[in-house]
Structure 1
Amino acid sequence: MVELRRLSKLKLAMRALLPAPKMISTSRQARRSGHFNPMFYRAQIKALHPFWRIFPMRHYWLRGERMGLSPSPNFCPLTYLKLNPDVAQSGMSPLWHFLQSGQAEGRPNKATKTEKLPSYAGSIPRFDPRRERAPYAVHLHLYYPDLWPEFAQHLSRMKVAYDLYVTLTWRGAETEWLTDQIKDAFPNAQVFPVANRGRDILPFVSLVNAGAFDGYDAVCKLHGKKSPHRDDGDAWRQHLVEGILPSDTLPRDLSWFLSDNDAAFWVADGQAYPVRQWWGSNRPTTDAMLRRVELNGQPDTYVFPAGSIYWLKPLMIGMIKGMKLTTDLFEVEEGQIDGTLAHAFERGIGAIAAAAGQKVVQTADLKPAYGPPPRRPSFVSAFYLPQFHPIEENDAWWGPGYTEWSAVARAGSVFPGHLQPAHPADLGFYDLRLTEVMGDQARLAQGAGIDAFCVYHYWFGGDRLLESPLDRLLNRPGIAFPFYLCWANESWRRNWDGLSGEVLMPQDYAAGFERHLVSSTLPYMADPRYQRPDGHRPRFVIYRPEDLPDPVQNIARLRRAWRDAGVGEVELGAVSFHLAGPSDVPHDLFDFWIEMPPHGLVASNAYLFGGADGNLMGDGAPGPGFNGLIYDYQAIARRSTDPKYRAKLPDRTIPGIMPSWDNTARRKNRAHIAKGANPATFRAWLTDVQQTSLQNGYRGELFINAWNEWAEKAMLEPCQTFGRLNLDVLAECICANALGAEVAEARNA
């Protein structure tokens, strides 16, 4: 008997060391298909021999499958044999059969049944954004009441401060009893009954939409999955939960997660799935969901957080809220195993993370942050439009009471998923005759890391337009509003582009205009809030230097006029525009240049509609009558950091970025639209600039187009779709990594 055992072990060792060709080919197939997950498999056997840990798939074929172990979370060999008795009778390997023919035949590998539950018509109320919060939030959704004791133990062992939100699938009196049990154990928990719809996803999304998770450093999403289609459902659930709620190392691991700027989700080991291998029947629904934030058509090269149990960061919360997923969009519960919005959501959030330049990290990937944080700009400016109050000229040209808001309010969507209209949130449809608004704007900007507003100065040969907001500001010294001027020296035209159409207010370059222009700037430069970014010289920018009649002479006279007026030297800059003007401008004429996206950044390969290749948007294109241009925001972002493109810019150029661009409000069916602009893609662009062009730009500065160009949708101000999310992205990226390891460790101490 002993000899037989030795012989058996020897044969096993030989088969492990010299696997058969069939084992090798099937292993490759399993690996490519995603049906073997080494990290997940190893986690099922705590004392796995070191050899098998190196070759886990060989262990599965030689021993693990017969032991009932699962090669991945979504395939259980024992369940497959139960659902397919002919395979069980044949003696074939269940995974081998599934890979060779079962998957193509549509063989079931999951068993489901639908439980009839009472209906529930209640809803989750909105949350007070001013309420006190812990640093973290935990959401637990329970469909199975009997799992509460297990989760209560996990929650009681968490060694970080958190607020608990629990949603319970409504079962009548049983749910009321469970609510009391939860409140007895966790008195501050907020418990909400919900209808049996949308699995664990709709309850989570409903809390997100209600503002429950606004303001937290990170949110933990849990749910009581039993996975009845798997014989190892309980073990899988415990693996998912224990992987992100380790009893001894949670504070440390959470601080590492927060300090990793590129991490969007934290999942248990083995739960980062490549979407290309796990689409199932979910791709169309996922694409339709992502269209709600203009991210449809993303390449399927990303991974997603499988299992729906994870930690996630505020940007992901904000993007989920921006999708505006409502109850009616989720299918009625019928035991579906694939193809629903809940399944699409699981995959789609991975695309959002990838669009932000972020990733899904597993527990084994967590580690302390090394190296310096991303480069912080030395000075951040944002263009500022003062056209949010009525003036006589606009009344005459556009109708009584016209302001920028008049166009914004009338904007409409021109293609499926088009994020128009874009309306303001926190500041509302403000009137800049109320100077306090400018103080509110400055507080928001300062909190996001913006140092100054570059305010357009509309001076036309002595005539001024839209000067009232800044003039009122000069009389209110107590309002902190850091600014400097940009002379918008193009004629006003009816088509808004300054280049063509009926001239409403011509720009005049009469002899001696330089002295009069300088005179108009003196009251502002004398104000202590007028910015001197280099610490000495007041800054002044010219929007269209190519339009000056004699740029070299004109600039020399301007500099002399400022000196004669007692101002001294002025730091003079210009916008690097994309179209040539009547005059050539030497690059060394100005102290610096400003890159102003999207001008000059839209290459021929960026067009999605209206370019040389026609319609690349398929069924998602605008309808008949649209004669504008649509281009890819992400393509523009990539080009902005391309060394070949940057080599063509003037020396001493300040890199520029834009949160979005869409002038539908002004130009309607002739609009130019950067599709795919949202806070996630804005973050990806910003971090790329920090790592590349910021290092070689003028004084390490950054320029943003714009703070409040609402009619061009180039705005950082809070909007109804994404709230303050663009400002939060700025704060995260340029305010010294506020959610870095040091802060997190201090909170968890």
Structure 2
Amino acid sequence: MAKTSVFSRARNLARFLSISPVTFWYVWKIKRSDLFDRNFYRGINPQMNALYRAFPERHYVLFGEAAGLQPCGSFSPKAYLRHNTDLNGLRRPFLHYLRYGRNELRITLDLPEGISSRGISPPALRPDDRTPAPYAIVVHIYYHEMWSEIAETLRAVALPFDLFVTLTWKGDETTTLVEEIKTAFPDARAIPMPNHGRDVFPFVHLVNSGLLTPYRAVCKLHTKKSPHRQDGDIWRRHLIDGILPREGLAEKLQAFIDDPKAAFWVADGQHYDSTEWWGINKASTAALLHRLEIRIDTDQLDFPAGSMYWIKPLMLRLIGGFQIGEADFEPEFTQLDGTLGHAYERAMGYLAKAAGQCVRETGELTPGRPAPRPRRAGYTSAFYLPQFHRTPENDAWWGQGYTEWMAAARARPVFPGHAQPVLPADLGFYDLRLTEVMGEQTELAKSAGIDAFCVYHYWFDGRRILEAPLDRLMDRPEIEFPFYLCWANESWRRNWDGLSGEILLNQSYAEGFEQALAEDTARYMRDPRYQRPDGSRPRFVIYRPEDMPAPAENVARLRDAWRALGVGEVELGAVRFHVEGEHPVEDDLFDFWIEMPPHGLVGMEDYLYGGREGNLLDFSVKGFRGLIYDYEKVIDNSLSPDYVAGLPANTIAGVMPSWDNTARRGAEAHIAYGAHPGAFHRWLGGLSEYRLEGSYRNELFVNAWNEWAEKATLEPSRQYGRAWLEVLGEWT
């Protein structure tokens, strides 16, 4: 009875809509499938009237399928019938696919004729010795016949730019076109590529090679015919002319560069900000963004559509961080949706948002508007770990030949997209007994505005460990290395957290330790490279002041000892640790305090996995017994007025690029999920706006320079290159 009633209502509704019950049922079946892409179909049929634009499924059932139009990017009715001959000219191929074909994994698209990836591989690319122009334009050419149109556009660009042209390999035709390109633009780099990954993989290949690193901004173009759209040529010219206008380009581009919130510049109307544009790309976009530990909300979507835009260096670094290559892209079957390239396009908006930035359209750029001047740190320090060399103690405790590199290299991922191991790039697996390395580190640090390394000083009642790097530096006065010391006064323990586990080297405080410590450190303070940030006093930091037996008395005796040794007054600071020690310290005991993220910035409500809420991630972490917390929440906590109000007035604002001690603790690690250079950029921007002015002497502290086994490092890495340093340099 109920079933008859349903059919009766459906028949009546079909009559009301003036369509047959069969047509009505087919439309209903399509809508239930979630495979029909409304925006895709509207895009390829821009001439539909208002009624059909509102109900495109009806247009497809009545007219589109018979005309061979595609209901989505991953299904072609003509190709489906051509490759599945048993269907013998079926009138409703999409209906057959919905009911049977998708479960039978039938072929739905054509492989383009005459174009193959075989016989050519992506070439290895290296930067050359030429001085780069301020800007670069990257063009991918699939339709060779369109080069003349692109060349005409490029000739009208009144900017200094370097040109990179990637071409889909088509044999002798490509060789001839390369010659044409070099004739028109002698300095261009023309790079034949396999027909793989459309315009996306060739661009990513350039990013991964480092060729696009030197530029202030990069323009990405391609020969977009969009044959599935009736207005393909009009759309292409709109995309190109919107970002390469014949008049006012230089002014618009400068406005884009000066806008701290702008990550991409697209033509008007090309910032798509509706979930209607997901298509069938939600899962693949989420999987891609997991590589950067970026979570997506599928109820939100905005991105630069059309894959033509100007893009800033930070976004290029994040794209490189995906670490995707040729093997990640699907074979070419003329897919119009559902590929890694389509996921990549949608991921761009999430990259911008994660960095606190957005997509700008041409009409939103206002030339002549003064660029905001960010508040920069007056002095920047970074914690420095001297663990990267062999010692007898480490050989005994961890095995012959152990250094920090062994811990870092053996880390393994514990969840999908987990970027482990994290490995060095420019400096390689260095040995700090080679003092020249410290000079190279200084050059990198200076490029990012870092003024000093705060070097951990391991001193246990006269016993030193990890002392070789600094002691050898004392014998090499010609090597630049600005530094001061932080007494790491906690016991060494087997589980690395300083709080529990077997004690390997105990930190005791024998009577008279203050005098002995002062004598041990005085020789470093007399070195010209030892830092005096206030212009007169050498600086010294104590990591855990609450662990000393009588902090006030110990500090007083330590200061007296330095005076007696002729060092004079010392600017003495301490770390604001997250666990209160046995002997609390008054705020005014020290000249300054150092905020050291993540200490004090992670609450139970910030855990994504392992806290009170269980698992808030969209994946399981099998066998994991540690904690995963939200790096974005750490940023928000750091900028919270209530949190800042609880800090001593003489606190140096701190920041960390990342935190993940999987290398040391494996399945019991603590991990800051979502730490990447984009989020680091957002944090530094917030500190600049809200906290640097109130920071002690307008200083900034970074945790850390080279804690590789805790993934707290600014040094160049294989995943992000020099991105951490470049981001820091914007605010120091």
Normalised TM-score (structure 2): 0.86
Q: What are the superposed Cα offsets for residues 303-334 of structure 1, whole Å, 9 maximum, x if unpaired? A: 21111000111111111111111222222222
Separation (CA, whole Å) in 2 of partners of 1:607 and 1:247: 51
Task: Say whether residues 1:611 and 2:611 are aligned partners.
Answer: yes
> How far off its partner does 1:110 sit?
7.2
Contact 1:260 1:369 in 2 (8 A): no
Hey, what's the Cα distance between the residues in 2 that align with 1:574 and 1:283? Answer: 47
- Counterpart secondary structure, 2:432: coil
**1:80 Cα deviation (Å)?**
5.8
Q: Structure 1 pair 441/306, CA: closer, same or farther in 2 (3 Å)? A: same
Q: Deviations over 1:239-277 (max 9, x none)?
A: 110111112222222122111222111111111111533
Structure 2: distance between partners of 1:186 and 1:448: 35
CA distances 1:389-419 after superposition (whole Å, capped 9, x unpaired): 1111111112222111121121111111111
Cα distance in 1 for partners of 2:456, 2:492 equals: 13
- Given candidates 689, 709, 712, the residue that maps to 2:710 is 712
Aligned 1:583-662 pairs, distance under 5 A:
583-618=583-618, 620-624=619-623, 626-662=624-660
Change (3 A) 1:104 1:682: farther
Matched, 1:240 2:239: yes
Q: How does 1:217-296 map to 2 (within 5 A)?
A: 217-296=216-295
Partner of residue 692 from structure 2, selected from 694, 698, 713: 694
1:127 corresponding residue in structure 2: 125
**CA RMSD across the alignment:** 2.3
1:118 equivalent among 115, 137, 142: 115
Match of 1:438 in 2: 438
Partner of residue 55, structure 2? 97
Determine the C-alpha separation between the residues in 1 that align with 2:204 and 2:299.
24
Q: Does the 8 A contact of 2:296 with 2:350 survive in 1?
A: no
Alpha-carbon distance change, 316 to 373 in structure 1, aligned in 2, over 3 angstroms = same
Deviation at 1:206, TM superposition (A): 1.8
**Aligned 8 A contact 1:439 1:481 in 2:** yes
Other structure's SS at 1:380 match: strand
Matching residue's letter, 1:657: V
Q: Relative to structure 1, is the Cα distance of residues 79 and 254 closer, same or farther in structure 2, using a 3 angstrom cutoff? A: closer
Query: In 2 relative to 1, CA 92–583 (structure 1 residues): closer, same or farther, beyond 3 Å?
Result: closer
Report the Cα offset of residue 196 of structure 1.
Answer: 2.4
CA distance in 2, matches of 1:552, 1:345: 57
Contact 1:267 1:363 in 2 (8 A): yes
Is the aligned partner of 1:680 residue 2:647?
no
Give the corresponding residue for 1:373.
373
**What amino acid does structure 2 have at the position aligned with 1:231?**
Q
In 2 relative to 1, CA 730–103 (structure 1 residues): closer, same or farther, beyond 3 Å? farther
Out of 415-424 and 561-570, give the one that drifted further.
Answer: 561-570
Q: What SS is found at the alignment partner of 2:536?
A: coil
Other-structure match for 1:670: 668
Look up the equivalent residue of 1:543 and give its one-letter code: Y
Counterpart of 1:75 (choices 42, 49, 52) is: 42
1:76 to 1:704, Cα distance in 2 relative to 1, 3 A: closer
Separation in 2, partners of 1:687, 1:73 = 38
- Structure 2 unmatched runs, 5+: 1-37, 80-109
Separation (CA, whole Å) in 2 of partners of 1:104 and 1:510? 91
Tell me if structure 2 keeps the 8 A contact 1:283–1:344: yes
- Normalization by structure 1: what TM-score? 0.84
Say whether the 8 Å CA contact 1:262–1:358 is kept in structure 2.
Answer: yes
Asked if the contact 1:269/1:362 (under 8 Å) is kept, the reply is: yes
Check conservation: 2:46, 2:231, Cα contact below 8 A: no
Alpha-carbon distance in 1 for matches of 2:194, 2:538: 61
**Alignment-derived partner of residue 428 in structure 1:** 428
CA shift, 1:615, in A, is 1.8
Tell me how far 1:462 sits from its aligned partner: 1.0
Identity within the alignment, %: 56
Name the amino acid aligned to 2:401: G
SS at match of 2:464: strand
C-alpha change, 1:680 and 1:716, in structure 2 (3 Å) is: same
2:180 maps to a residue whose letter is: Q
Deviations 1:624-664 (CA, angstroms, capped at 9, x unpaired): 2x211111111111111111111122221111111111111
Question: How far has the Cα of 1:560 moved from its partner?
Answer: 1.5
1:660 aligned partner, one-letter code: S
State the match for 2:540 in structure 1: 540
- In structure 2, the partner of 1:30 is none
Residue of structure 1 in register with 2:182 after alignment: 183
Which residues in structure 2 correspond to 1:709-748 (within 5 Å)?
Answer: 709-734=707-732
Map 1:304-703 onto structure 2 (within 5 A). Answer: 304-367=303-366, 368-370=368-370, 372-618=372-618, 620-624=619-623, 626-703=624-701
Could you tell me how far 1:178 is from its partner in structure 2? 2.0
Give, as a single letter, the amino acid of the residue that structure 2 aligns with 1:732.
Answer: E
How far apart are the structure 1 equivalents of 2:62 and 2:615? Answer: 35
Distance in 2 of aligned mates of 1:258 and 1:632: 30
Equivalent residues of 1:79, 1:229 under 8 A apart: no
Tell me how far apart the structure 2 counterparts of residues 654 and 498 of structure 1 sit (CA, whole Å): 23
Deviation string, structure 1 residues 378-398 (Cα, Å, up to 9, x no partner): 000000001111111111112
Residues in 1 aligned to 2:265 and 2:511: alpha-carbon distance in whole angstroms? 65
Q: Deviations over 1:147-174 (max 9, x none)?
A: 1111111101111111111122223332
Distance 1:103 1:259 in 2: 50
Q: Is the 8 A contact 1:76 1:109 kept in 2?
A: no
**In 2, distance between residues paired with 1:318 and 1:104?**
48
| Equivalent AA in structure 2 for residue 672 of structure 1 | H
User: Hey, what does 1:160 align to over in structure 2?
Assistant: 159
